Structure 1
């Protein structure tokens, strides 16, 4: 039969069949069902979606998160679903799902508490930062963010090495309500505003959402815990497993809940942990109203986990549920998704069989869990090939991370007492030092709870040894100090030493998870040890308190033989070095206590009383500085060295408001100041919003000394005729009246350079001065003139703001006053006018918009006459000016939606912005066509821009700020090139020679005059680099091709007075194609002159038209090659068939 068929039909049928089978394979693997592999199944794949299972729909990274999650759920059996509801989720080999441990800890470094972390692989240690309470004492938002970022990097690196998960159950953002709470050390203190700010910064840093957007864009997952009103471990008969926290609605709303709301709304945390305790009778994990509020009101989109065994205690301790399966049903229906423990794996199936929950309830929990895993890239295949696959063991315990941990300890340590300026010690005056205390030579006590394996821990004794001859005695056998057996040795070495340090306080035997204190005094006989040593010592001693919670040291406060007291919290692995630097004056302590230090009498207040507000009728004094009416252990901050200083602004409500706080913290900031006898001037960084008719202050940046190392301001005495002076009263100052001498030009230049570094609508909006009232009054005209110079150096384009701010900070007494000055008018004594202002949570409420903009400008080089050649800078400035006019009319697409109105943006996160340029008549090209054309400048590249929007601003403001920022960035780069060129201008005779050599990147441009020859010249512009600044915002700098990141770090320190970024991974270099200039002479120009042909970049930063062209070319080449091979194969097969057929006939 086959011989009757023409042979060509066999070839056609075979070819069509092959194509049909290929299409069926592709279609079925993506949309219908995966092709079953005959390869042996793995018992536990090393990672999910590994070949041959990568063809499942849930592994397809091009599909939406929700689609992928639902696809995976549809493939699971009920039993498989249940085994995924516990923290130790089992592997499902038939689907290629690896086992996953949800429980990893990272409170102040990667910790070994959870089973998800192991230090037995390539990574043997991780950076141990100070315990959270000490880091909070720095009141430095940037530090909190950077610490979170470093921990997140190390967590991701350990995951890539197979030594941790990606879901870290931190931070602990409960309020430190009672000083006896064993876990208070883990928190950020007693103030809800501070706790909220810390939560936002730490979570943003840890999760790294700003590093990469889209699916797989989270570095790790953070978890806000413990939700809610959880602050008791074991006190008397009360235990966290069974405690019922009775909380008033007022206390709940203004104290207990705000940190969780901020953690979710602003920090965008992807996990929420419900606590052990009941709140007003209902277990937290079974309280549907509580859990659903996070989702419906705060926009929570992550997963909710129980604390470990918090489901079991609902039945076993609270007796809230009648049976284990009832407890399971309660939490699943309330909205909890996963159980740290075994109750869900043991009793969920029974709850389903009894009809207490439906399989759809389980599906919803799994959807929340899988969505977070998908955002982390866990189902994207090999993690080494993912967004953060470059991180590994070399990114853990880096010098930058250890330096950051040291900075955190330095900035958090608090000086409580410093009589007669005992600190700092001067090494020239002493030759020996004695250090005493059971924890002084024990580095294991430096971290507090939830600590992992530190990189290079340094005890206090080890930290002091490099400075001076040091001897050590424990004094007590351990922190409990139950006897005086070691007192004699401690007294002996204190008598022999020139200086004495005693280390006292607490450890985890006194305060820990599951362990509350019963007393606020030092444990055992520690007080006796301190008294004995101080009495024997010839000089006053230094007392160091190593403790999380507050300690009543009233005896030390009044003892003249105890000269200085330092609270060092639990300072982490570098704590020994930080303390030594402070003792010997290399760093000045500037921390502030984030908690109230109560006297021992407070120990009689019932710890189970959750009320914050005082109740005189029952002798209840209230809690925290906002409401407490009793005595406190006073704390003072002393120091006369240059230092970072924490400025706090408090507010008081009307006494007519029932239950109002006595005072409440409104805002805080940390600024570097000279000693209090010095004076300081600097810039006010902020944003002026025309739509709201108000300005926002973000930060104060001191002006550094000029190139001659001269201060920007100094005091000059105003001399008067002594005969005209009357006798001074006691209330008058003893010194002569003084006024300021200010370097106007240098402050204006500092403002100009700082303005280049600001993005997102942030501007230099004024100056501040830190002087006494009398000096300020004598210097108002000079300050107004300085303000005018700053305004002229940093103009605000296209705004109606003619005013600039002048903030006066007086240090005795400490207060702020704000004034405005209309700099366009003549400066007189009345130019400054009072201005109302208030400080609030501005930075933490900003929304971020990001745009990658691709431009390609072709600019004609023209001259008015044959002898008048236009300069390169003039041509570029003209081109940028005309492109700015075109960019002004561009439409914007934000997160895929065209911006059509001025409504405020409601969603959080980083919003992607694309700009669409309109087709318009090119008047610039027409203008140039009427002149002689010498050649063309091709100015192209990409610009990355950020904008930061207040929640009340219209979304169009972000678009406007981005457009202005793009143009400003191009102008700034041109200014930098011009500044360098003008600084190197040589004799006039050399100009023609330099010009004839063209423009190149390997030598400076000494004269910006272009003599176009018959050759192509090029010039690379500086690239834009972004550095984390405050509360998740960025500033930028411009680096020449030959410059390294060290130049950037120097600029950050010098110009912005900020810590140099220690972790290179926090520095963003998103501009793939930095701006560059190519010149073409008239004879080389082969295309028409177009002014501005621009297109937006995609998220990858690549011009989509160029990428499409590359793909098309590649595809065409492959098609041609395939066609040729198929033709050759067809000829070969045809020849064989012809020969075979011929032989048969």
Structure 2
């Protein structure tokens, strides 16, 4: 979406136009709709929406196909803004009105960005985050400060480490992103019944979207004109499964189509993606959900400069989008305002399409209780449900759970007396705002590391550092570090560099920051502990410095990021997060163009190294890496898998509509804490083997779970849940196939335990993929 960063500092202080005000609930008792079936809460959401749309004129319908909808005054339906953001908490944007001066609704809980929450590998935690965000979002709406739909979560896989929006996602793995999205949507929308949603969640960006400006716009390739060339195999195996979980399995009320084209057709005009796959193959028509365009995406699929030029006119672009499946056009500030009326008058989309789009939009709103009156579900949520103690505790817990210990030479956790000085150095040390990341709202508080350390009673000396390349001056940092018992350096790439509309061209540590770390490590008077914020930078230089004793990665840990980091450094909590992405060497950018969407190595270029942990094995830190303050041993067990299993028997007893969702026998993991520190443990179960066609991935994440608070000397047991689809592979036609053969489960990264089993019989296609 087009960024609205400029609004962040002012939006809470101004009086917004009425079209931007929050939702107004119509009066179904005394208002114009009182006799309309739409107000009958005993009828289905679909029938109610059909009756409502039948009362509208075509002119009114056409005016309300855009994000900033003027409403239907004759029916008592006020203006409605479809653009509401809540990626990791209610955020500043067009649809949300913030109070000022510390009043109610002047702040909302800001959780870690998805990249940090994703590193916790805890779907229960993600669902609780979604529930907390959905609760606060609905409270804003009930108070007239927001609307009922929110454009979250972002489930695009983090394919390329340069992508400016990768931190908005749970990581690079399709299975992880899918489970994250499913858990988040279920939490946010609620599960009272299919017709009672707390809010509408929107899974974005559909599909194969992970490029902003190709590392600086070289060659003129931007997200507005990029044509992602993706094989059917890679679509079905990697780019689309997270959306399948969101749409088919979690029943997200909305999906957003993306800016880019896929194989020559812009995503927001792509009938194959939106109709054949999303609504057809995944049966996403069951609840009549709707599709919204990314902001100005329809403008750029027309004849706009810098766009796809897929259609010769703006009206033709609007018609193509609507006929392909888009139901609402978001218009930002960069393009001509969309004109559905002009497209309709030119017969570029039909009456049937117009009515269907309106029914889809209002059916979604009716499911949230738009017409249910003050006694409707979730209408009781208000100011007291925002910034609750439980939400604040959850934000801190999520930050702590997602921090990853990359290196530790035995110095962590720190043991410091109040008489000892700790040096806290770097740009991030006192920049709590930067720990929020993009698409943020105003948090109830911001806790940066330096302030938290002082509040803990430590003697603190601070020095700032450069953000990107910056200065190589190290004098202030060295002066602050003299006589310190420990040196904490907070650095990395922040969201002034990796952000929407901007891709990076380098994975190297910023030169100015690296110069500071070198100077601090060379002192030799105290251990240097580096805390990395942001996403990818190549730690190879740090690993070569004897003075750098420990490295943590925290991503964007949210409003309580400083507290979470200091708690881990001082041993108040123990690290157990795992990297949700591969940490690549800087050289990777030389061999892997951002525009190459292929996952597998080789292809037309022998130098092409492939993507993600499944195909690339030269990582600085691999996907799933994460150390602890203690040691663990583990054993994998399953009596059900001790003998070969017949594929035909497994599929024959499946009762699910979709074979890929059929359960596979549980694998039990017994984890023993053999050290001295109580700690969580994330059990990552990868599978490997030579089943199915070559080439073979190095390994593939098949399932995971998080075991909590394993005390020293004790053992916990968990059942690893997985499905037939989690063990299947995708062939070149996109079919998900369960193959006979010998399978080996690899627990942890690096491998801590293994388990082997066999599948017999003949291969079975669990999911037959529609061809373009």
TM-score range, shorter chain: 0.7 to 0.9
SS at match of 1:105: coil
**1:916-955 alignment to 2 at 5 Å?**
none
Structure 1 position 96 matched with structure 2 position 79: no
Partners of 1:422 and 1:564 within 8 A in 2 = yes
Question: Given the alignment, which residue of 583, 607, 616 partners 1:628?
Answer: 616
Q: Does 1:129 align with 2:129?
A: no
Name the structure 2 match of 1:489: 476
1:324 is aligned to 314
Residues in 2 aligned to 1:673 and 1:153: alpha-carbon distance in whole angstroms:
28
SS in 1 for 2:516: helix
Contact 1:127–1:396 (CA<8 Å) still a contact in 2? yes
Query: Does the CA contact (< 8 Å) of 2:63 and 2:341 recur in 1?
Result: no
1:83 aligns with 2:63: yes
Contact 2:686 2:746 in 1 (8 A): no
Q: Classify the secondary structure of the residue corresponding to 1:147.
A: helix
In structure 2, the CA distance between the partners of 1:367 and 1:415, relative to structure 1 (3 Å rule), is same
**Partner residue, 1:164:** 146
**SS of residue matched to 1:385:** coil
SS at match of 1:647: strand
Describe the SS at the equivalent of 2:481.
Answer: helix
Distance 2:618 2:279 in 1: 39
State the distance in 2 between where 1:59 and 1:544 align.
55
2:275 is the counterpart of 1:287: no
Q: Give, in angstroms, the shift of residue 186 of structure 1.
A: 0.4
CA deviation string 1:207-247 (max 9, x = no partner): 01x2x2253x1001111100000000012231000100000
Distance in 2 (alpha carbons) for counterparts of 1:626 and 1:537? 39
| CA apart distance, 1:65 | 2.0
- On the 8 A contact 2:710/2:716 being kept in 1, the answer is no
Aligned residue in 1 for 2:406: 416
TM-score by length of 1: 0.55
**Aligned residues of 1:423 and 1:585 also touching (Cα < 8 A):** yes
| 1:492-530 residue CA offsets vs partner (Å, 9 max, x unmatched) | 120121111011112122100001111001224110011
Q: Give the corresponding residue for 1:663.
A: 699
Q: Deviations over 1:980-1006 (max 9, x none)?
A: xxxxxxxxxxxxxxxxxxxxxxxxxxx
Q: Secondary structure at the match of 1:644?
A: strand
Q: Deviations along 1:761-814, whole A, 9 cap, x unmatched?
A: xxxxxxxxxxxxxxxxxxxxxxxxxxxxxxxxxxxxxxxxxxxxxx99999962
Indicate how the Cα distance of structure 1 residues 808 and 341 shifts in structure 2: closer, same or farther if over 3 A, else same. closer
Deviation at 1:652, TM superposition (A): 1.5
What is aligned with 2:248?
A: 265
Which residues of 2 match residues 468-547 of structure 1 at below 5 A?
A: 468-476=457-465, 478-485=466-473, 487-547=474-534
Structure 2 residue aligned with 1:249, among 209, 213, 232?
A: 232
CA distance in 2, matches of 1:681, 1:553: 34
Counterparts of 2:750 and 2:95, CA distance in 1: 53
Secondary structure in structure 2 of the residue aligned to 1:533: helix
Quote the Cα distance in structure 1 between the aligned partners of 2:127 and 2:22: 36
Q: 1:379 aligns with which of 371, 381, 390?
A: 371
Check if 1:48 corresponds to 2:48.
Answer: no
Secondary structure at 2:415 match in 1? coil
Q: CA deviation at 1:474?
A: 3.2
Residues 1:571 and 2:560 are matched in the alignment: no
Aligned to 1:989: none
Q: Which moved more, 1:551-560 or 1:166-175?
A: 551-560
Structure with the larger RCO, 1 or 2 (CA within 8 Å, 6+ apart) = 2
- CA 1:370–1:188 in structure 2 vs 1: closer, same or farther (change >3 Å)? same
Cα separation, partners in 2 of 1:133 and 1:631, compared to 1, 3 Å: closer
Matched, 1:446 2:453: no
Cα pair distance change 1:435/1:620, threshold 3 Å: same
Structure 1 match to 2:394: 404
Match of 1:207 in 2: 189
Q: Secondary structure at the residue paired with 2:460?
A: strand
In the TM superposition, what whole-angstrom CA distance separates every residue of 1:937-986 from its partner, at most 9, and x where no partner exists?
Answer: xxxxxxxxxxxxxxxxxxxxxxxxxxxxxxxxxxxxxxxxxxxxxxxxxx
Decide whether aligned partners of structure 1 residues 153 and 510 sit closer, same or farther in structure 2, where only a CA change above 3 A counts.
Answer: same
Pairwise mapping of residues 177-192 of structure 1 onto structure 2 (< 5 A)?
Answer: 177-192=159-174
Higher helix share: 1
| 1:144 and 1:198 in contact (8 A); partners too | yes
Query: d(CA) in 1 for partners of 2:231 and 2:748?
Result: 40
For the pair 1:219 / 2:198, whether they are aligned, the reply is yes
How far did 1:77 drift? 1.5
Deviations 1:1018-1066 (A, max 9, x none): xxxxxxxxxxxxxxxxxxxxxxxxxxxxxxxxxxxxxxxxxxxxxxxxx
1:357-372 pair list within 5 angstroms: 357-372=349-364
Determine the structure 1 residue equivalent to 2:637.
Answer: none
TM-score by length of 2: 0.81
Q: What's the CA shift for 1:655?
A: 7.2
Structure 1 residue runs without a partner (length 5+): 1-42, 697-806, 819-834, 839-844, 846-1145
- What displacement does 1:481 show? 4.7
Residues 652 and 413 of structure 1: is their aligned pair in 2 closer, same or farther, counting only changes over 3 Å? same
Give 1:631 deviation, angstroms.
4.7
Q: Distance in 2 between matches of 1:810 and 1:80?
A: 57
- Give the Cα–Cα distance (whole angstroms) in 2 for the partners of residues 227 and 535 of structure 1: 48
SS in structure 1 of the partner of residue 684 of structure 2: strand
Contact 1:207 1:218 in 2 (8 A): yes
List runs of 5+ in structure 2 lacking aligned partners: 1-20, 631-676, 727-744, 761-765, 767-772
Identify the residue that residue 784 of structure 1 maps to in structure 2.
none
Matched residues in 2 for 1:406 and 1:678: separation?
27
Q: Note if contact 1:110-1:128 (Cα within 8 Å) is conserved in structure 2.
A: yes
SS of residue paired to 1:157: helix
- The C-alpha deviation readout for 1:169-209, integer Å capped at 9, x for no partner, is 0000001000000000000111111011101100000001x
How far has the Cα of 1:347 moved from its partner? Answer: 2.5
Q: Verify the 8 A CA contact 1:85 1:344 in the aligned structure 2.
A: no
Q: Does 1:592 align with 2:578?
A: yes
Judged with a 3 Å threshold, the aligned counterparts in structure 2 of structure 1 residues 810 and 254 are, in CA distance, closer, same or farther, namely closer
2:324 paired with 1:334: yes
Q: Which structure 2 residues correspond to residues 892-971 of structure 1 after superposition, within 5 A?
A: none
Looking at structure 2, the residues matched to 256 and 214 of structure 1 have their Cα atoms a distance apart, in angstroms, of 27
Q: Deviations over 1:110-146 (max 9, x none)?
A: 1113434534573110000001001010001110110
SS in 2 for 1:600: coil
Decide whether the 8 Å contact of 2:413 with 2:568 is kept in 1: yes
Q: 1:808 to 1:577 in 2, by over 3 A?
A: same
| Contact 1:475–1:484 (Cα < 8 Å) also in 2 | no
Does structure 2 retain, via aligned residues, the 8 Å contact 1:500–1:537?
no
TM-superposition CA deviations, 1:1064-1107 (whole Å, max 9, x none)? xxxxxxxxxxxxxxxxxxxxxxxxxxxxxxxxxxxxxxxxxxxx
Q: In the aligned structure 1, how far is the partner of 2:526 from the partner of 2:23?
A: 66
The residue matched to 2:427 in structure 1 has which SS?
A: coil
* Displacement after TM superposition at 1:685 (Å): 9.6
Q: Deviations over 1:652-711 (max 9, x none)?
A: 241772343221001111113647x83425576999xxxx9x9x9xxxxxxxxxxxxxxx
Tell me, in whole angstroms, the C-alpha distance in 2 between the residues paired with 1:241 and 1:125: 33
RMSD over equivalenced CA pairs, Å: 2.8
| Matched residue SS, 1:273 | strand
Local SS of the residue matching 2:200: coil
Equivalent residue pairs, number: 655
Shift of 1:412: 0.6
CA distance in 2 between partners of 1:148 and 1:85 (Å): 28
The 8 Å contact of residues 430 and 498 in structure 1, kept in 2 or not, is answered as: no
Deviates more, 1:599-608 or 1:398-407: 599-608
Distance in 2, Cα, partners of 1:97 & 1:810:
54
Q: 2:213 aligns with which of 200, 220, 234?
A: 234
Larger mean Cα displacement after TM superposition, 461-470 or 147-156: 461-470
Q: For residues 322-357 of structure 1, what are the alpha-carbon distances to aligned partners after superposition, in whole Å with 9 as ceiling and x for unaligned?
A: 111110110111011000117897422222222222
1:152 aligns with 2:106: no
Q: Is the 8 A contact 2:425 2:490 kept in 1?
A: yes
Separation in 2, partners of 1:656, 1:76: 55
Alignment partners' CA distance in 2, 1:349 and 1:811: 56
Q: CA deviation at 1:457?
A: 1.1
